[in-house]
Amino acid sequence: MTLQNADARALAGRTVQMAISAGASEAETLVMSSSSALTRFANNRIHQNVASEDSGVSVRAVIGKRVGVASTNREDDASLFACCEAAVEAARLAPEDAAFPGLPQPRPLSLEDRACATTRTFGAGERAAAVGTIVEHCASRGLTAAGQVSVSDTVIAVANSLGVDAGMPGTTCRATVLAMGPDEGSGWASFAGRDTSLLDAGSLGEQASSLALRSASPRDLDPGEYTVVLAPDAVAELVQFLGWYGGSAKAVAEGRSFMTGHLGERMMSQSVSIVDDALAPHALGLTFDFEGMPKSRVALVEGGVVGEPVTDSYWAARTGRRDTGHALPAPNSFGPIPLDLEMAPGDATPASLIASVERGVYVTRFHYVNIEDPVTATLTGMTRDGSFMIEDGRLTHPLRNLRFTQSAVAALASVGGLSSERRMVGEEGGALAPYALLERFAFTGRTR
Amino acid sequence: MRGFSASCLDAASSAGADYADVRVTDTRTQDISVRNGIVEGVESSTSFGFGVRVLADGAWGFAAASDVTPDAAARVARQAVAIAKASATVGSHRVELADVAPFDDTWSGTCAIDPFQVGLDDKLAVLLAADAAMRAVSGVALTQSEMGFVTVFKVFASTVGSYIEQRWSESSAGITAMAVDGGEVLPRSYPNSHGGGCFQGGFETILALDLPGHATRVATEAAALVSAIECPSKQTTLIIDGSQVALQVHESVGHPTELDRVLGDEAAFAGTSFLGLDDIGSLRYGSDIVSVTADATIPGSLGSFGYDDEGVPATRDHLVRDGILAGFLGSRESAPAISRVSNGCMRADGWNRTPLIRMTTVSLEPGDAGSLADLIADTDDGLYIETNNSWSIDDKRLNFQFGCEIGWEIKDGQLARMVKRPNYTGITPAFWGSCDAICSREAWQVWGLDNCGKGEPMQVAHVAHGAAPARFRDVTVGVGR
């Protein structure tokens, strides 16, 4: 059974005391309790339909400058104490880390309830009904639908022996729709939010199926550098790669970030601002990090100028920066990470962006993007689910999928316009992204 | 666990399931990482729970929980049936399963030294020694050393009548040195990138790697990459080391031969496949020397087990034989589409995930080109590359692009200048069709891979690939350089 917020916070606090009893000089516990369900569909039927619930406790034990971590999903006292002992034992054997600043002191938090009752009661029947609506939209047009409708109900609580006591419930709802037709046509639509009452399955089915019909019978395009108009899913991919791999103080300090050596410099177009803001009303994630520190709004890029990276308590101390509250669960070898990214809007419409392009490519989304060079944020990946030729300001014909190999930093230095409309898309906490016109974007190959 | 699993199956049947299976899984892990001489993480974890999968009204349902109690058994089983009945309300397709015999059996993986009986200090000693040796090399900016261990006890029972207990351990370790210069990060890894070498087995597999013994070479190569030449943009003859051939097999043979992808079940997330059901026996996948097998019976391989998560015994099967598509990776649900029984490829990432079709040990069979040195000596002009750095492939598994850590030009049968950040691209059947030499069995080894992502919710599978260095003609390299 999953835990309520108060129970999770109580469990976190109780386990901290156990860890101290087990020999830790300082201790931190993280409790995560979640109920989730996901209905997957393909070939116009539901082919996987799953639900699970789990609660886990993770203990970070500190002895001086030594740190050990252990976790368990067994909640009885004997198992919890054994977990605490394992963390303490690991800390005893670990070499000292002279740079370890100790666990963070408590700071004022803005604890919100980001859970929606409608999402909590959105069961298998409701998910199937949403899928049925999507499938009906697609099948009635001779298309095949695939995708998923999912919900989660999660409580996360953090406590430490210095007085940190944070807990927060949250729900999420996500849906994706891929419509596929004959003659290689495919279209995409997605939804990410907290509240299932905002999920409009019919609209998603309509968007994806219209795009699939329009993208049938694609033509080849020679690789080369083109002006592109990217839809929000594609823009979010660039923003998330920049943020996740380049936006942390650890990556900056180690010379692995596009920010390294360029703080305060203009690297992108003036219209580009990328911020991480978990406190924004549309944000899906926690308002505190996995150390129980308040998340701050951080401008990674402001007006094209490189701003500041995100930190956690360790990397704030190591680099002499403020703790922005972006810790992952301990032990965290990845470093701090921005999970609530958004790109500032412009004043254009998607139609006006397309209308301003003499010859270019419209991209609905990317597929299987990976990073070739973290410093330049050079990415490679494919287009999919609706790419079109733009000629004289109009979408003229669909294009077969293309491979790109392109620095995200350089691409965002050639922004020719951003839409005022933004959409919440992408993985993890999601990213809020506009449509973007990029003057120069390198397509390096094409598929069959 | 017999009583508990029986109560799950009974509750599912009583609630209306036509078929049910249950997996109870107890997993223990330990992960240790050292970076620049600092121990960044020492973490252990345990996870215990069960999942019930049912067919009711011809559709699937799955539910899982972490409280392994009689009350939860009944509750979760009924929940799975209710979910299956909701699934059945969309579409008219009814799932039919290929037959499988009932088994009452136990299976254990190879393990000489239980990794959880080895002290943390012994493990740290290996990592810190390797890390220190790398940091002693001038020009190295960052070092990373890591180890991981997993022990799994899994019970499977089904309404077919099977009750199967399996136990195994996994061990992994690797080191990476990075040079950072002029806006470039240049990594060099041993024995592989992305976590290192991964094995089914115990601490003996880690000791055999001799991480400290390879640290100086790895670091020296990383430092030398700073002054290496850029990868030229051209078409050339390409020799790929075994570890990268393993990933090439993974992405361009393993995934496209998964029957669930071929049938469209993964379309919206990971994509489909360029292959069709009717391609068996006729589609030319590669040159005549290209044969690929799927084998879940290789001792010590990360892709081995006694039975898959549908209770199907481990098998060895051909996916490509003499260059022609010969089969697919299948399941009890998908196998009837090609008029076969399941070849046992269904596995789940833990107790709270439903099984998917996953690779076992999918291997490029060895050729007769001798050693790597023999193959290079047999090549007048080209490029030799080692160790993956990045990967990407399209949603039908046709257009791929891989980056590697290091390369060398080949001139007159010898390695010449070092090349930094080499990459290459191609189209799957044309690329495998250009394979004209594969090294012999002495150069062939199994490469474990513990980060294969697939499905929604995301599942990470531990798989493996046997591979030897191989040569490909007219390959496009230096993309975007």
**For B345-385, how does the pLDDT look when each residue is reduced to its tens digit (9 = 90+)?**
999 999 999 999 999 999 999 999 999 999 999 999 999 99
Task: Give residue-wise pLDDT tens across range B98-146.
Answer: 999 999 999 999 999 999 999 999 999 999 999 999 999 999 999 999 9
Q: What's the token pair of residue B141? A: 């900016």
B29 touches chain A (CB under 8 A): no
B471 shares contact with chain A (CB less than 8 Å)? no
The residues, any chain, with a CB within 8 Å of residue A378's CB and separated by 6 or more, are: A371, A372, A405, A406, A407, A408, B480
Token pair listed for A110: 């803005």
Kindly compute the dihedral angle of the four CA atoms of residues B472, B473, B474, B477, in this order, to the nearest 10 degrees. Answer: 30
Chain B residues within an 8 Å CB radius of A380: 390, 392, 401, 403, 479-480
Nearest residue on chain A to B122, alpha-carbon basis: A93
Query: Could you tell me if B268 lies within 8 Å of chain A, comparing CB atoms?
Result: yes
**Amino acid at site A354:** I
Percent of chain B predicted with pLDDT > 70: 100
pLDDT at A213: 97
Of B439, B371, B394, which Cα lies nearest the Cα of A448? B394
Local structure of A246: helix, strand or coil? helix
Q: Contacts of residue B35 in chain A, CB cutoff 8 Å?
A: 333
Give the pLDDT band of residue A182 (cuts 50, 70, 90).
Answer: confident
Q: Which residues of A touch B264 (CB under 8 A)?
A: 42-43, 144, 146
> Quick check: B389 contacting A, CB < 8 Å?
yes
Burial of A268 (0-12, 13-18, 19+ CB in 10 A): buried
Q: What is the mean pLDDT of chain A?
A: 96
Torsion of CA A101, A104, A105, A106, to 10 degrees: 170
Structure tokens at A189: 């639509």
Residue type, B414: Q
A204 pLDDT above the threshold of 90: yes
Q: Do B183 and A45 touch (CB under 8 A)?
A: no
- pTM across the whole model: 0.96
Q: Is the pLDDT of residue B72 over 90?
A: yes
Asked if B3 has any chain A CB less than 8 Å from its own CB, the reply is: no
Q: How far apart are CA A30 and CA A13, in angstroms?
A: 9
- Shortest Cα distance, chain B CAs vs residue A420, angstroms: 28
CB A119 within 8 A of CB A196: yes
> Among all residues of chain A, which has the CA nearest to that of B186?
A373
Interstrand relation of B104-108 and B163-181 (parallel, antiparallel or unpaired): parallel
Distance from CA of A346 to the nearest CA of B (A): 30
Among B207, B210, B200, CA closest to B150: B200
Cβ neighbours around A401 below 10 Å, total: 25
- End-to-end C-alpha distance for chain A, whole angstroms: 49
Instruction: Give mean pLDDT, residues A251-256.
Output: 96
Sign of the C-alpha dihedral computed for residues A276, A280, A286 and A292 taken in this order = positive
In whole angstroms, what is the distance from residue A30 CA to residue A291 CA? 8
> Which residues of chain B neighbour A332 with C-beta distances below 8 Å?
41
Residue A427 banded pLDDT, cuts 50, 70, 90 = low
Q: Which two tokens stand for residue B263?
A: 């049938």
CA separation for the pair B293, B254 (Å, rounded): 10
Contacts of A233 (CB under 8 A, 6+ apart): A188, A190, A364, A365, A366, A423, A425, A426, A433
- CB-based contact, B353 to chain A, within 8 Å: yes
CB proximity under 8 Å: B 310-349 to A: none
By the 10 Å C-beta count (0-12 exposed, 13-18 middle, 19+ buried), B368 is classed as exposed
Conformational region of residue B218, where left means phi above 0, alpha means psi within -120 to 50, and beta covers everything else: alpha
Query: Among partner residues A72, A256, A370, which is closest to B46 by beta-carbon distance?
Result: A72
Which residue from B428, B170, B155, B400 is spatially nearest to B287, judged by alpha carbons?
A: B428
Looking at chain B, which residues constitute the CATH 3.30.2290.10 domain(s)? 2-225
Per CATH, the number for B2-225 is: 3.30.2290.10
pLDDT at B411 > cutoff 70: yes
Inter-residue contact B240 to B472 (CB < 8 Å): yes
Contacts of A14 (CB under 8 A, 6+ apart): A80
Q: Distance between CA atoms of B212 and B204, rounded to whole angstroms?
A: 15
Ordered by start, the domain boundaries in chain A are 5-208, 218-448
Answer for the pair B348, B53: CB distance below 8 angstroms, yes or no: no
Question: Which residue from A minimizes the CA distance to B43?
Answer: A69
Q: What is the mean pLDDT of residues A322-330?
A: 97
B349: distance to nearest CA of chain A, Å?
Answer: 13
CB atoms within 10 A of CB B113: 16
- Quote the minimal CA–CA distance from A379 to chain B in Å: 10
Q: Is B401 on the interface with A (CB under 8 A)?
A: yes
pLDDT confidence band for A428 (50 / 70 / 90): low
For residues B167-180, average pLDDT:
97
Chain B closest-CA separation from residue A74 CA (Å): 7
Q: Are B443 and B459 in contact (CB under 8 A)?
A: no
Look at B86 and A125 and tell me if their CB atoms are within 8 Å: yes
Closest Cα in chain B, distance from residue A3 (Å): 12
Residues A332, B41: C-beta atoms closer than 8 Å? yes
Contacts of B49 in chain A (CB under 8 A): 54, 73
- Give residue B181's pLDDT: 82
Task: Name the residue among B141, B130, B216, B220 with its Cα closest to residue B173.
Answer: B130
Cβ neighbours of residue B367 closer than 8 Å, sequence gap 6 or more: B289, B437, B438, B439, B440, B468, B470
Classify domain A5-208 at the CATH topology level: PmbA/TldD fold (3.30.2290)
Which chain A residue has its CA at the smallest distance from B75's CA? A1
Contact present, A350 and A419 (Cβ < 8 Å): yes
Query: What is the model's pLDDT at position B481?
Result: 82
| Cβ distance of B89 and A128 shorter than 8 Å | yes
Q: Which of B87, B140, B184, B261 is the best mutation test for A, with the most CBs of A within 10 A?
A: B87
User: What's the mean pLDDT in B298-311?
Assistant: 98
Sheet of strand B316-321, all strands in order from the earlier edge strand to the far edge: B324-325, B316-321, B292-295, B362-364
Asked if B142 reaches chain A (Cβ–Cβ under 8 Å), the answer is yes
The CA distance from B229 to A244, in Å, is 29
How many H helices and E strands in chain B?
9, 24
**Distance in angstroms (rounded) separating the CA atoms of residues A240 and B152:** 34
Taking an 8 Å cut-off on Cβ atoms, the answer to whether A43 and B83 are in contact is no
Using the structure block, give the residue that is written with the tokens 């609580």: A157
Q: Residue A251 corresponds to which amino acid? A: A
CB contact under 8 A, A148 and B40: no
- In this structure, the number of other CB atoms found within 10 A of the CB of residue A359 comes to 12
- Tokens 């994509």 correspond to what residue? B271
Nearest to A367 among B185, B263, B394 (CB): B394
Could you write out the DSSP letters of every residue in B114-148? Answer: -GGGS-HHHHHHHHHHHHHHHHTSTT--EEEEEEE
Contacts of B23 in chain A (CB under 8 A): none
Beta carbons of B402 and B390 less than 8 angstroms apart = yes
Q: How confident is the model over A24-28, as a mean pLDDT?
A: 98
> Which single residue is written with the structure tokens 């596009």?
A258
What the block records as the tokens of A352 is 């006006």
Mean pLDDT of chain B: 97
DSSP 8-state secondary structure symbol assigned to residue B72: H
Interface touch B61/A49, C-beta < 8 Å:
yes
Per-residue HEC secondary structure of A375-409 comes to CCCEEEEEEEEEEEEEECCEEEEEECCEEEEEEHH
Which residue is closest to A371 within chain B, CA to CA?
B390
- For residue B162, the tally of other CB atoms under 10 A from its CB is 20
Give the angle A103-A109-A112 at the CA atoms, nearest 5°: 130
- Following DSSP, what letter does each residue of B176-235 receive, concatenated? EEEEEETTEEEEEEES-STT-EEEES-HHHHHHH-HHHHHHHHHHHHHHHTTSEEPP-EE
Q: What's the one-letter identity of residue B257?
A: T
| H helices, E strands: number in chain A | 10, 17
CA quadruple A369, A370, A375, A376: dihedral, nearest 10: -40
Q: What percent of chain A has pLDDT over 70?
A: 99
Whether residue B182 is predicted with pLDDT greater than 80 in this model: the reply is: no
- State yes or no: ipTM above 0.90: yes
Give the chain B residue nearest A208 (alpha carbons): B268
Q: A342 CA to chain B: closest CA distance, Å?
A: 23
Confidence of residue A351 (pLDDT cuts 50, 70, 90): very high
Q: Does B49 touch chain A (CB under 8 A)?
A: yes
Q: What is the pLDDT of residues B241-250, one digit of tens each?
A: 999 999 999 9
What pLDDT was estimated at residue A430?
84
* Predicted local distance difference test score (pLDDT) of residue A133: 98
Token reading at A320:
């002499």
* Strand (E) or helix (H) holding B11: helix B2-15
Strands B142-158 and A186-193: unpaired
- Partners of A74 on chain B (C-beta within 8 Å) are 46, 48, 66
